[in-house]
Structure 1
Amino acid sequence: MSGMENGGVVREKGKFAVLGFALSCRLQEVEQEDASRLLDALDAELESHGLVMGGGVDLDRLDVFVLPRKDADATDSDRLALAEWLDQQPLCTEVAVGDWVDAYGVE
C-alpha cells in the first residue's frame, strides 16, 4: 500500500518500480500563449501514447517528467516518438529525452 509521509509518496517495500522519463527542450523566443499552446499540444500527444506528465514550461524551456497512465503499457518506442515529435516543433531546440528511470528513485 502507498501513502503519504513527510509530504512525499511512499511505496511499500517489494512493490514494482514506477518507470518514467525526463523530456526537455529549450524554447526559441516565445510569448506565454505560444508556450501554453505547446504544452497543450504535448499533453494531447502524450495522451495518444497513454502517458501523462508533470512539470511545465516557461518562456525559455520545457521540462517535464513523463509517466505511463495507470492502465497503459508505454514502450521505448513511445518514449522515442515523443522526443521526435518535440524535435519537430518549430519552437523547440536542444531536445533531450532521458532513459526510463524509477520515478521514486533508488532505495
Structure 2
Amino acid sequence: MSGMEDGGVVREKGKFAVLGFALSCRLQEVSHEDASRFLDALEAQLESRGMIMGGGVDADRLDVFVLPRKDADATDSDRLALAEWLDRQPLCMEVAAGDWVDAYGVE
C-alpha cells in the first residue's frame, strides 16, 4: 500500500487510479508575509473543495500537484475554479492548470 497520512490519498496497487492535476503560476515579487497569506488562502480554497496539494512556492513560482482527499469527489469544475481563483490573485501571472492524470503514473 502507498499513500499519504493525515487524510491524504491511499491506494492499493492495481486497484484504481487516483486522479490529480498540476497547478502553477508565476509570482510577482512578494514579501514573506504576503506569500504566507497567499498560501493560507490557497489552502483554504483547496480545503473548501475537498482537495490537498503537494509541492510549493519558491521566489517566483508556485508549482503544486492537487489531489482530492480520500473522502471527496473533486470534479473538473473544481479544477477550473481553482485555476480561475489563482488567475484573480494580484500576485499570480501565467496561471496553468494541467489535465487530470493518474497521480501514481501509468501501470
- Same fold at TM > 0.5: yes
Count of residues in correspondence between the two structures: 101
Question: Could you say which structure has the larger radius of gyration?
Answer: 1
Q: What SS does structure 2 have at the residue aligned with 1:52?
A: strand
Residues 1-107 of structure 1 correspond to what in structure 2 (within 5 A)?
2-3=1-2, 11-13=12-14, 15-107=15-107
- Is the 2:19–2:102 Cα contact (8 Å) retained in structure 1? yes
- Is the 1:27–1:62 Cα contact (8 Å) retained in structure 2? yes
| Structure 1 residue 12: Cα displacement | 1.9
TM-score (norm 1): 0.88
Gaps of 5+ in 2: 4-9
- Is the 1:19–1:100 Cα contact (8 Å) retained in structure 2? yes
Letter in 2 for 1:61: R
| Structure 1 residue 11: Cα displacement | 4.4
Between the aligned partners of 1:3 and 1:54, the Cα distance in structure 2 is 15
Between the aligned partners of 2:19 and 2:63, the Cα distance in structure 1 is 17
TM-score (norm 2): 0.88
Letter in 2 for 1:60: D
Q: What SS does structure 2 have at the residue aligned with 1:34?
A: helix
Counting aligned pairs with the same residue, the percent is 81
Between the aligned partners of 2:2 and 2:50, the Cα distance in structure 1 is 24
| Structure 1 residue 58: Cα displacement | 1.7
Between the aligned partners of 1:50 and 1:28, the Cα distance in structure 2 is 28
| Structure 1 residue 103: Cα displacement | 0.2
Root-mean-square deviation (CA, aligned residues, Å) is: 1.6
Runs of 4+ in structure 1 deviating by more than 6 angstroms, as ranges, are none
